[in-house]
Structure 1
Amino acid sequence: MSRPERSVHIAKSMKVIEWLKTEILDQIANLYKGLHHANRSLIQDSLASLVVATYVLAKRVGFSYREVDQAVTRKLREAARERHQLEDWYGDLSDLEEYISKR
């Protein structure tokens, strides 16, 4: 890749990363709106968009989707082991870990 092409590629990558960061913030705002108005469709759409944007951002900064899944699994196991309240009260963390491991 020539010097000008490399500069354009780097600039484009940086622009995409910045866009993804704003997309995440926008979806968090939409999630709050959905929760405030009890709008299930908006809540679901915002959560899905957050997951997608997170995976794509991870890829743009150098992580594979598999690495993200592995990090999430490690985080879930660690939190469950440390008796996180969500795990103690609802078992959410072990449920999510089981779901991810079956994908």
Structure 2
Amino acid sequence: MSRPDRGLHFAKNIKVMDWLKTEILDQVANLFKGIHHANQQAIIDSLSSLVISIYVMARRIGLSYGDLDRAVTEKLKEHTRDGHQLEEWYGDLSSLDDYINKR
């Protein structure tokens, strides 16, 4: 790749990262609107878009999807072990860990 091509590639990567950041913020806003209006389809759409954007952002910064998956499962185990309130009150974290490990 020649010098001008590398510069163009670098600029394109910056633009994509900026787009992903705004996409994440936009989907968080849409999620809150969906919750406010009790719109289940809007909630699901926003949450799924957030998950996709986060995976793509991880890849753009050099992490593999597997790296992110492993970090999530490790974080779930850590929070479960440390007595996170969501785990103590509802068992959400161990339930999610079980779900992820069965897929």
Gaps of 5+ in 1: none
- Alignment partner, residue 15 of structure 1: 15
| Length-normalised TM-score, structure 2 | 0.98
1:60-75 paired onto structure 2 within 5 Å:
60-75=60-75
**Structure 2 Cα separation of the partners of residues 99 and 3 of structure 1:** 47
| In structure 2, C-alpha distance between the alignment counterparts of 1:17 and 1:102, rounded to whole Å | 32
Query: In structure 2, how many angstroms separate the alpha carbons of the residues matched to 1:28 and 1:11?
Result: 26
Residue 95 (structure 1) shift: 0.9
Report the 3-state secondary structure (helix = DSSP H, G, I; strand = E; otherwise coil) of the residue aligned with 2:63: coil
Tell me the CA shift for residue 98 of structure 1. 1.2
In the comparison of the two structures, how many residue pairs are matched?
Answer: 103
1:8-87 aligned at under 5 Å gives the runs: 8-87=8-87
Query: In structure 2, how many angstroms separate the alpha carbons of the residues matched to 1:62 and 1:100?
Result: 23
Q: Shift of the alpha carbon at 1:89?
A: 1.1
Structure 2: unaligned runs, 5 residues or longer: none
Give the CA deviation at 1:101. 1.5
Q: Which whole-Å CA distance do the structure 2 matches of 1:15 and 1:74 have between them?
A: 31
Q: Secondary structure, in 3 states, of the residue corresponding to 2:6? A: helix
Q: Residues of 1 paired with 2:70 and 2:5: CA distance?
A: 34
Distance 2:20 2:48 in 1: 14
Superposed CA RMSD: 0.6
Between the aligned residues of both structures, percent identity stands at 63
Q: After superposition, what is the alpha-carbon deviation per residue over 1:10-62, rounded to whole angstroms, capped at 9, x for unaligned? A: 11011000000000000000000000000000000000000000000000011
Question: Deviation above 4 Å: which 4+ runs of structure 1?
Answer: none
Read off the aligned partner of 1:18 and give its amino acid letter: D
The AA in structure 1 aligned to 2:13 is S
